[in-house]
């Protein structure tokens, strides 16, 4: 069955004590909330994973890393493997964020390897895709999305696919305050679901969670989440304050 998810992506924000405090606040608010209609995840820096895992109830709030290495182990100074992430008790990893693709030159081939390693280590993957403004203006949205998803994910089996969540994040909407309209977002989400249906069939496509990301906030979340193919959000800036984040979590 398709699950609604609201996941925070804290990016490179908060010290460990600040992050622990934020995670505690989110977990307390989620525990106190009645009848939530979505799963809640916090995506924290590597340094925070173990400390945050100790203060959350993982049954109530999932825990995601924001990246993992494209190698199993060894002489890769500064890298963090999928096995290391899993050993902290995290249950998700965000992969393919446009900031990683853009600033750290992550290629579809590298992401394919990261996805495989994450799944082998029992992590669920929140896989990001999305077009730049130039690509949108050039009418290339569908080509970009299709390439990003098929090149890094379409080698998976249907069984593995059950552990994939897609996040559509138009790059021009990330951290800019410019949200895609709910119609613009729905159009791409429906296209993504169609791609998944072509590859894995209607039933699996119907069960796939597709999140929207890009300046989602309490004031626009309800309209976005009301669309039939938008199953929640990947939230950057608005995930850094428990009150704002909960305003999105409760928007369903
Ligand atoms: C993100 O980078 O995943 C994101 C959605 O950021 P923001 O909500 O700040 O636009």
Note the pLDDT tens digit of each residue in 66-102: 999 999 999 999 999 999 999 999 999 999 999 999 9
pLDDT at residue number 180:
86
Determine the average pLDDT of the residues in 124-130: 98
pLDDT at residue number 176:
86
pLDDT at residue number 7:
98
pLDDT at residue number 178:
82
d(CA 195, CA 144): 12
Three-state SS sequence of 110-158: HHHHHHHHHHHCCCEEEEEECCCHHHHHCCCHHHHHHHHHHHHHCCCCH
Q: Which residue blocks in 176-217 are alpha helix, DSSP H?
A: 182-200, 202-207
d(CA 149, CA 79): 24
Residue whose Cα lies nearest atom 4 of ligand 1: it is 236
pLDDT at residue number 179:
81
Catalytic pick from 131, 148, 169, 186? 169
pLDDT at residue number 247:
98
Catalytic pick from 97, 99, 131, 189? 97
Positions of E strands within 14-123:
39-43, 61-65, 92-95
Tell me: pLDDT of 58 over 90.
yes
Pocket lining for ligand 1, CB < 6 angstroms: 9, 169, 174-175, 213-216, 234-238
Residue 251 in contact with residue 235, Cβ under 8 Å?
no
Helix (H) or strand (E) holding 78: none
pLDDT at residue number 170:
97
Q: Which of 95, 172, 216 to mutate to test the pocket of ligand 1 (most atoms within 8 A of CB)?
A: 216
- Torsions phi, psi for 223 (to 5 deg): -65, -40
Interior angle at CA 115, CA 111 and CA 118, nearest 5:
135
Rounded to the nearest angstrom, the distance between the alpha carbon of 72 and the centre of ligand 1 is 29
Mean model confidence pLDDT for the chain: 97
Q: What percent of the chain has pLDDT over 90?
A: 97
d(CA 209, CA 121): 21
User: Residue 133: pLDDT band by 50, 70, 90 thresholds?
Assistant: very high
Rounded to the nearest angstrom, the distance between the alpha carbon of 179 and the centre of ligand 1 is 10
Determine the average pLDDT of the residues in 3-13: 98
What is the per-residue pLDDT across 12-49, written as a single tens digit (0 to 9) for each?
999 999 999 999 999 999 999 999 999 999 999 999 99
Q: What percent of the chain has pLDDT over 70?
A: 100
d(CA 118, CA 204): 20
């Amino acid at each position: 069955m398709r699950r609604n998810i609201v996941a925070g992506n804290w990016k490179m924000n908060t010290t460990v004590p600040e992050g622990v405090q934020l995670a505690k606040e989110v977990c307390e608010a989620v525990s106190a909330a009645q009848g939530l209609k979505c799963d809640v995840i916090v995506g924290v820096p590597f340094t925070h994973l173990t400390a945050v895992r100790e203060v959350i109830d993982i049954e109530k709030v999932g825990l995601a890393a924001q990246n993992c290495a494209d190698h199993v182990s060894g002489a890769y100074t500064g890298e963090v493997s999928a096995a290391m992430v899993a050993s902290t008790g995290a249950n998700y990893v965000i992969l393919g964020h446009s900031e990683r693709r853009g600033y750290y030159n992550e290629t579809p081939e590298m992401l394919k390897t990261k996805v495989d390693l994450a799944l082998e280590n029992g992590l669920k993957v929140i896989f990001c895709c999305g077009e730049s403004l130039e690509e949108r203006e050039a009418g290339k949205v569908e080509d970009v999305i299709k390439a990003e998803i098929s090149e890094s994910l379409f080698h998976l089996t249907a069984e593995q696919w059950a552990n994939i969540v897609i996040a559509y994040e138009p790059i021009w909407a990330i951290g800019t305050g410019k949200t895609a309209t709910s119609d613009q977002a729905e159009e791409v989400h429906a296209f993504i679901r169609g791609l998944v249906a072509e590859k894995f069939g209607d039933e699996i496509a119907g069960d796939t969670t597709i999140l929207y990301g890009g300046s989602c906030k309490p004031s626009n979340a309800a309209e976005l989440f009301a669309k039939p193919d938008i199953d929640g959000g990947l939230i950057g800036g608005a995930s850094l304050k428990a009150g704002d984040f909960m305003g999105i979590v409760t928007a369903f």
